[in-house]
Amino acid sequence: MKRLVVYYSLSGNTEEAAKKIAEALDADLMRLETVKEMPKSFAAQIIVGGGQVMMKYVPKLKDYDKDINSYDEIILGSPIWNSKGVPAINAFLEDKVAAGRVTSLFFLSGGGEVKKGLDAITKMLPNLKNTVSLLDKKHEDSKDNDKKIQQFIEKIKS
């Protein structure tokens, strides 16, 4: 089984989980990057990112450094942004073949409202089998992330 972990991460939380998952599964890793960069400050990210989500903006992504068609299975990692899905993830999932290869989703949130954002992502994933909810490292319960990642990996392998 040839696996690829694809993720988007603005402030490093999803990236940290992606690296752990890829290492444990002996999978390749691919970070999605938008051509137009997001602002550096969190306050500006909330305004710009929140606006993009509301407008259902689909950004242009930088060229991939992996041939996604050569993988049997994709494990997707996304932060939760508001209610209509993360723009870079929406751009990736416009490729329906790639979306169909996603079997597993890990998502990061600040511990707030996630249902709408999560629904927006999962409805684009027809073959989704495994999902795990992880918390931003600023949240006190993020100490449970490693245990949850371990269980997620076991489900993917089984």
Residues in the interface with ligand FMN (CB under 6 A) total: 24
Specify the DSSP element, H or E, that contains 135.
strand 130-135
Tell me if 14 contacts ligand FMN by CB under 6 A.
yes
111 lines the binding site for ligand FMN (CB under 6 A): yes
Residue 11 CB, shortest distance to ligand FMN, in Å, is 3
Residue 1 CA to residue 5 CA, distance in Å, equals: 13
Which residues from 19-48 bind ligand FMN, rule CB under 6 A?
Answer: 45-46
Q: How far is the CB of 136 from ligand FMN (least distance, A)?
A: 3
> To the nearest whole angstrom, how small is the minimum distance from the Cβ of residue 37 to ligand FMN?
13
Query: Do residues 73 and 1 touch, judged by C-beta distance below 8 A?
Result: yes
**Helices 13-25/145-157 angle, 10° precision:** 40
Is residue 110 a contact point for ligand FMN (CB under 6 A)? Answer: yes
Using CA atoms in the order 18, 75, 35, 91, what is the torsion angle rounded to 10 degrees?
A: -150
Q: Which of 74, 82, 105, 120 binds ligand FMN (CB under 6 A)?
A: 82
Q: Is residue 101 within 8 Å of residue 69, measured between CB atoms?
A: no
Is 87 a residue that touches ligand FMN (CB under 6 A)?
no
Rounded to a whole number of angstroms, the minimum distance from the CB of residue 122 to ligand FMN is 15
In this structure, which long-range contacts are made by residues 35-40, counting pairs with CB atoms below 8 Å and at least 24 apart in sequence?
35/59, 35/60, 35/61, 35/62, 36/60, 38/10
Residue nearest to ligand FMN (CB): 49
Binding of ligand FMN at residue 68 (CB under 6 A)? no
**What residues line the site for ligand FMN (CB under 6 A)?**
9-15, 45-46, 49-50, 79-82, 108-114, 117, 136
